[in-house]
Amino acid sequence: MESWTFDDFDEYASAVQDVNLEMMLQKLIFPRWTIRQIEIDGVRIQHGEQGSGDITKGLTRSDGFFLYAPWSNEHHQRSEGTNLAFDSMLVYGPESELHLSSQIDHAWCTIFIPTEQVLEDGDASRFRNKRHIAQKSQQFVRRFREATRSLYEAIEAAPEMAASCTLALAMRGYRDMAAELIFGGQTLATPNMGRPSLCRREIVRRAQALIDSHDHLTISVGDLAAACEVSERTLRSTFQAYFGISPHRYMQLRRIHQIRRDLIATDPESASVAQVLLRNGEWEFGRFAGRYRKAFGELPSETLRRSKGSIR
């Protein structure tokens, strides 16, 4: 078993395995994030605990299936506008888009299973970019969660067990349970909204692509809605359903994270906080500093002083 504890959100985000993620810290509760993981015969199980809320988008690996389960504060976690529950199990096929959000601290668990371990022919093309919520009984999902917990506890108590015949048999049953979750479920779909008729997922995809392409530029909510070909009301309700925040707040959070990464990469002897903010299109220094401190628990100047750029 491997375990890491972080006091920096970006370092924590970069340690999450099996999915190419872009994570934004949404609400800091306490500055502590942990990840534990075990890998047995190609199957990787991760358990994360976050001292914050977050907004996450990503793309799963191309060579296997990715399962996500909320582990605590599950009712405050969302996937594509759907509120999760204790027995929710999200299943993602290879190269599937992932959208998750939470506004408070929480825990989660993910399981990655290589394609060849659940498909006899190894052909996962029909599952690409497909995701669903497992439609099994609460009892079955809870049994799977308990099996996941038991594997963790067994390896933690006796690391040498990872190569034992007993564990190999346990993993065979575990993979069979995972296969039942993978092959049965209800596709994550959202009702059509606005005119022209677009699903929420497509609205979010268009909005994020436009925001990403404009980088340092400020986009009004009206312009963003027009580019997505929906009304402002539809755009606002879509973001509220997906992320629990408005489009304006989403863009604000993205700007804060973008500037934080720039501050971390900057040598404090070569540029000031004001210069970093200006080159990122931020003019309201005082207000920004307040938002930044609320998000990360420190001022921009403190981030710059301990930046990677200052280490020689």
Domains (ranges, CATH) in the chain? Answer: 2-187 (2.60.120.10), 192-244 (1.10.10), 246-312 (no CATH)
Mean pLDDT, consecutive 10-residue segments, the chain of 312 residues? 91 94 92 92 92 95 94 90 87 94 94 90 84 83 86 76 68 85 62 54 90 80 91 92 90 91 91 90 88 91 79 40
pTM of the model: 0.83
Amino acid 182: pLDDT: 86
Amino acid 161: pLDDT: 64
Burial group, residue 55, by CB count within 10 angstroms (0-12, 13-18, 19+) = buried
**How many CA atoms are closer than 13 Å to the CA of 46, on its beta-carbon side?**
20
Going 283 to 21 to 50 to 250, the CA torsion angle's sign is positive
Amino acid 119: pLDDT: 86
- What is the C-alpha separation between 68 and 52, in angstroms, rounded? 18
pLDDT per residue over 162-207, tens digit each?
Answer: 666 667 777 888 888 888 888 865 445 444 444 445 688 889 989 9
**Percent of the chain residues topping a pLDDT of 70:** 91
- What is the C-alpha separation between 295 and 23, in angstroms, rounded? 13
